[in-house]
Structure 1
Amino acid sequence: MELREIVDKIKRLSPLSASATQLIELMQSSGSSFEQITHIVELDAALTANVLKVVNSPAFGLGHKVTSVSRAVSFLGEKMIAGIAIASCAPEVYGEELAGYAAERGELWEHSLLTAIASREIAAYCTEPLRAEDAFTAGILHDIGKSVLSQFVAGKTHELMEAVESKAAQDFMEAERLALETDHSEAGMVLGKHWRLPANLLAAIRYHHTPHKAPEEYRPLVYCVHLGDALAQMHGVGTGAATLQCGLEPTVCDYFPISEDEFQAIFLDASIEFEKSRTAFLG
């Protein structure tokens, strides 16, 4: 019965706005232009307001007020614009408290944002061609399933943690499956289909904890998000009880042979960018 209720909840969630969908599609293409992104933002009054709010936040310290969308897009960059668009039109996903995960309001967004920033930085180290834009967007979206499952694991958080600690479940995701017959990555993929996301982003959502199971063509992206997710949790930015409860696959080194010094540099750069960005978004 719970499985049917979970699917019903997903179907009741609002679809992504036309602007967010167009921006995601545009970022998937290699021919996206500054002018096209600006045009999409300008046609959406709510998105325009949010973009200007972020760019004019004290965190960016511009020293002057930006009132032009084109200037805001130029300063923030297309990856950040897509993040703002997704967050703006999905407050029921990113803006709610996740009681089932013992996560406060805003924690899922913070974790998603740091994962996105880290994944963007990590993408440059891939052994195969990987677009930073795709890594960022996939990082933003990877944990959307937690917003769906939260109400269904509410009251079972201690039970799930006990399953992991007693080794009855290999990790938190397996504990979810034992309790609900599904997990947040599977629920997230169903929500991603409801939002009509492209196949590579669906793969990142579905397999970010099990990247070796992803279709081969999408594994570089999925492993990138897998590593970005781990970096965010190592930073202490997770989603409540689930933080650091899923392991890192050793095969990640096949796609990202990153040295310890390089990883430290990525960690530092991502942390600095995250602190600036989270303040702009959340105040």
Structure 2
Amino acid sequence: MTTGACAPTSTDNRLYPSRPALEAAFDVVKKAKIPPIPDIVLALKKELDRPDPNMQKASELIGQDIAITGKLLKTINSPAFGLSAKVGSVQQAVSIMGLRRLANMVTAEAIDRMLADQGGEAKVVWDSILEEARVMVEIARLSRGVTPDEAYLFGMMHDVGCLVFTGLFESYSTEFILHRHTDTEELIDFEMKHLGVDHPTVSFLLAGNWKLPDQMALAIYLHHRVECAEVDDPKVRALVALANLAHRLDAFSEGSLDMSEICSEEEAIWRELKIADDDWVRLCESVAQGGSAA
């Protein structure tokens, strides 16, 4: 693992973590003994980076991992992804979704397999991350700014640094539960005081080393730091908006936020995501009634 995981794609280097911050994150990740990303993800990334990716070869790479293939097809065929016909094979999934979108989902499934075996307090943190990821997928179905596969991968990774911290500091999960919806800044202050680095920086480092797209890695780092309008890159803006909206909707579902705060004050976010007015009204009504986010 290297500290220079993601080369800046923006001309504004101030949007990226400093080298000392990345070095601190690197030290934390080493202590946590995070497993390396599975070979299937690296092989897919290599194929995608070719000038003319071979879709048949990529399908065969995915098909070699039976466990990931099974979970992948189950996810693709879930109501959240809204496909009109059931997908029965990796080849069919590639033809319907495209290789890059499928690679996002394979990466997410691989990460889930690495991190899902959590017990005790760590499970509480991981379950919270997965719940926000689920909300992001539901929002993405209404959005023209982020696809469900991007939302799925981004949702799993945006706060993965919190999961890393649960194994390094005994009382971290308590702080996470207390502040994740009500005062993120206080949670980050706690992280800096006790671990010398915050979870967005650790998540950014892992995103780069696990070969996530550079725009997604940057959005992971920025999602607690900036408003979406402060970022030039439209994809990064959309992902930051997605994280902010999902966080608020999840906070509402936990009783930590009033629905009027979401529906009256978050116009910039849902406009950024290009959610139609009618869809936005249905989204607010559904969440207010305690239903699905879409």
TM-score (norm 1): 0.62
Which residue of the partner structure matches residue 40 of structure 2? Answer: 19
**Correspondences of 1:72-91 after superposition (within 5 Å):** 79=101, 82-83=104-105, 85-91=107-113
Cα deviation, residue 262, structure 1: 2.8
Cα deviation, residue 189, structure 1: 0.8
Which residue of the partner structure matches residue 219 of structure 2? Answer: 204
Cα deviation, residue 8, structure 1: 1.1
- 5+ residue gaps, structure 1, are 275-283
- Equivalent of 2:68 in 47, 51, 56: 47
Structure 1 residues 161 and 139: alpha-carbon distance in aligned structure 2, compared to 1, 3 A threshold: closer
- Equivalent of 1:190 in 205, 208, 225: 205
CA distance in 2, matches of 1:216, 1:86: 26
Identity of matched residues, %: 19
2:168 aligns to what SS in structure 1?
Answer: helix
Cα deviation, residue 144, structure 1: 1.7
Q: Which moved further from structure 2: 201-210 or 217-226?
A: 217-226
Check the 8 A contact 2:72/2:109 in 1, yes or no: no
**Correspondences of 1:23-172 after superposition (within 5 Å):** 38-51=59-72, 68-71=89-92, 79=101, 82-83=104-105, 85-97=107-119, 99=121, 103=124, 106-122=127-143, 124=144, 126=145, 133-158=149-174, 170-172=185-187
* 1:95-121 deviation per Cα after TM superposition (whole angstroms, max 9, x unaligned): 424726x71664433332332342353
CA distance in 1, matches of 2:25, 2:93: 43
Q: Which moved further from structure 2: 31-40 or 45-54?
A: 31-40
Cα deviation, residue 236, structure 1: 3.3
Check the 8 A contact 2:134/2:155 in 1, yes or no: yes
* 1:203-254 deviation per Cα after TM superposition (whole angstroms, max 9, x unaligned): 121111223387522542333332343255146389xxxx87xx98965366
Structure 1 residues 72 and 161: alpha-carbon distance in aligned structure 2, compared to 1, 3 A threshold: closer
2:35 aligns to what SS in structure 1?
Answer: coil
CA distance in 2, matches of 1:263, 1:211: 23
Kindly report the root-mean-square deviation, in angstroms, between the aligned alpha carbons of the 2 structures.
5.0
TM-score (norm 2): 0.60
**Correspondences of 1:204-243 after superposition (within 5 Å):** 204-212=219-227, 215-217=231-233, 218-230=235-247, 232-234=249-251, 236=253
Cα deviation, residue 148, structure 1: 1.0
Q: Which amino acid aligns with 1:87?
A: E
Structure 1 residues 165 and 223: alpha-carbon distance in aligned structure 2, compared to 1, 3 A threshold: closer
CA distance in 1, matches of 2:116, 2:160: 8
- 5+ residue gaps, structure 2, are 1-23
Check the 8 A contact 1:220/1:255 in 2, yes or no: yes
Check the 8 A contact 1:138/1:201 in 2, yes or no: yes
CA distance in 2, matches of 1:32, 1:266: 38
CA distance in 2, matches of 1:33, 1:262: 38
CA distance in 2, matches of 1:49, 1:166: 37
Structure 1 residues 92 and 220: alpha-carbon distance in aligned structure 2, compared to 1, 3 A threshold: same
Check the 8 A contact 1:149/1:187 in 2, yes or no: no
Structure 1 residues 258 and 152: alpha-carbon distance in aligned structure 2, compared to 1, 3 A threshold: same
Does 1:177 pair with 2:198? no
CA distance in 2, matches of 1:107, 1:159: 13
